[in-house]
Amino acid sequence: MKKSIFTLALPLGIALTVLSACSSPEQKEAAAQDKVQDAKEELNTVQANTNAEEQKAASIEEWKLFKSDTEIRIGNNEKRIAELKDKMKKPGKTLDPLYKSRIDALELKNQELKSRLEAYEKNQSNWETFKREFNHDMDELGVALADFTVDNKN
């Protein structure tokens, strides 16, 4: 008798275990719908972030004003660099190679800023960050040009 109960209980236990471990079609459908809903919410979040990025781009008027002001500053930097190069060529002035390399570095930095401005114009994104970083770099270059001939060896 024990054997017959055992033989009936074993398959019944296995069947219950298998049935309880498997999900019903309704449960699978609900899980799939949850995943679809999560994907839709994530897509909406990405779209909202993209729209926010687009809104952070500069307005046309703001961009034109910034660009014209920056081009003037870059032009002034170019004039100052040309003056420093002319000063270096004057007879009677013995300027070391360090002076020339510093002028070349400033000129390269000015050209890099000019190309960054042109690159941003083609691909405008995150206006506030670009404007802050660009102005910081322009200010640093301006200070470097102004302090170029100052003798700090005192």
Domain spans, the chain: 28-57, 58-146
Residue 57 above 90 pLDDT?
no
pLDDT digits over 7-49, tens only? Answer: 655 565 565 555 555 667 777 788 877 887 787 788 778 777 6
| Residue 111 to residue 115: CA distance in whole angstroms | 6
For residue range 59-110, list pLDDT tens digits in order: 888 888 999 999 999 999 999 999 888 887 776 656 667 788 888 999 999 9
